[in-house]
Structure 1
Amino acid sequence: MKILVITTALVGGLTSVALAEEISPTGVNFSEGAVEQSLSGTAGDPATGRIIVGDKGQGNCVACHQVSDLAEVPFQGEIGPILDGAGERWSEAELRGIVANAKVMFEDSMMPSFYKTEGFIRPGNAYTGEAADDTFGPLLSAQQVEDVVAYLVTLKK
């Protein structure tokens, strides 16, 4: 009986993992700019999201936005809106949509699409000056998008 219970629990656990599949950049479903479903199937980590937002080698959000919580990051931008209070201005789904592809919600946005792999006019291959090849991927992974969203939700005024 114990073996049956353990086996059933394991199979049930594996089934729930299988249901939490990553959504590909081409499979994202936008509804008025918002994305209701998690892209990774895993909850985002606000601490990791904070690092991505402030890291000039990853999200580099501070190149365009100011975030008071990241006061230790120098040379914050003034192009995009200040992110303080983002968690009150937009819902989690709206923030996910904005990070994935802001142009769906804000057509004239200059913000890069962090989870997009097609529909570009002339994508390049990183900083090589060469055209993109078949390894062209999104700027952030699905989990990184979820981490950034988890952090942005915490930014209250």
Structure 2
Amino acid sequence: MAAALCAVLVTAGVAGGAEVAPGDVSFEDSAVVTAITSEPGNPEEGAKVLANRGLGNCLACHAVAALKKEQFQGNVAPPLDGVADRWTPEQLRAIVADAKQVFGEETVMPGFYSLNVGVNVRKNLVGKTILTAQQVEDVVAFLGTLREAQ
């Protein structure tokens, strides 16, 4: 039920199988109000992306109790438990898409759907994002399930 509600919350705006290009993502007051793909985010897929060391690699820095089976969770960044109580889906989308737009240039969190990735980018990765638009929406949907215990 919560996953379905979250999927509804994170989708609004992009029509007909389209996705917003990384350079066209609109940040407003530390939020990305419009979904960047027309497909709803899938929390189960988002959990996989978040835990995948070759994709999101979020667990290198963050800990997530819901993924306790995953080894070697980080303690460099805040735990993600309860993140849905602290941030709206629109704010979470902005953080995942390009954390520098929210936290400033000093953050070490990468922009997962941004082409502003710095210098000395490996040539075969120039012009590519870390995650696809759908993967961003999936991660946001998963993060939307992470509430503080009642």
Normalising by the smaller structure, the TM-score range is 0.7 to 0.9
> How far is the alpha carbon of 1:27 from its aligned partner?
0.3
Match of 1:137 in 2: 128
User: Counterparts of 1:82 and 1:118 in 2: how far apart (Å)?
Assistant: 26
User: Counterparts of 2:125 and 2:130 in 1: how far apart (Å)?
Assistant: 15
Task: Give the secondary structure class of the aligned counterpart of 1:93.
Answer: helix
User: Counterparts of 2:108 and 2:116 in 1: how far apart (Å)?
Assistant: 17
8 Å Cα contact 2:111/2:117 also seen in 1: no
Amino acid at match of 1:22: E
User: Counterparts of 2:147 and 2:130 in 1: how far apart (Å)?
Assistant: 26
Q: Deviations over 1:38-80 (max 9, x none)?
A: 1111110000001111111211100000000010111101111
Structure 1 or 2: more helix by fraction: 1
Match of 2:102 in 1: 105
- Are 1:31 and 2:28 matched, yes or no? yes
Match of 1:6 in 2: none
Match of 1:148 in 2: 139
Match among 120, 123, 138 for residue 122 of structure 1: 120
User: Counterparts of 1:138 and 1:17 in 2: how far apart (Å)?
Assistant: 21
Identity, in percent, stands at: 39
Gap change, CA 1:154 and 1:122, over 3 Å in 2: same
User: Counterparts of 1:156 and 1:91 in 2: how far apart (Å)?
Assistant: 12
Runs of 4+ off more than 2 Å: 118-122, 131-134
Task: Give the secondary structure class of the aligned counterpart of 1:154.
Answer: coil
8 Å Cα contact 2:50/2:58 also seen in 1: yes
Deviates more, 1:95-104 or 1:31-40: 31-40
Amino acid at match of 2:133: A
For structure 1, the residue ranges without an aligned partner over 5 or more in a row are 1-15, 125-130
8 Å Cα contact 1:65/1:76 also seen in 2: yes
> How far is the alpha carbon of 1:17 from its aligned partner?
5.0
8 Å Cα contact 2:37/2:133 also seen in 1: yes
Match of 1:53 in 2: 50
Task: Give the secondary structure class of the aligned counterpart of 2:31.
Answer: coil
User: Counterparts of 1:121 and 1:57 in 2: how far apart (Å)?
Assistant: 21
Match of 1:128 in 2: none
TM-score, length-normalised on structure 1? Answer: 0.80
User: Counterparts of 1:115 and 1:133 in 2: how far apart (Å)?
Assistant: 13
Amino acid at match of 2:114: K
CA RMSD, 1 decimal = 1.6
Gap change, CA 1:70 and 1:119, over 3 Å in 2: closer
TM-score, length-normalised on structure 2? Answer: 0.83
> How far is the alpha carbon of 1:149 from its aligned partner?
0.1
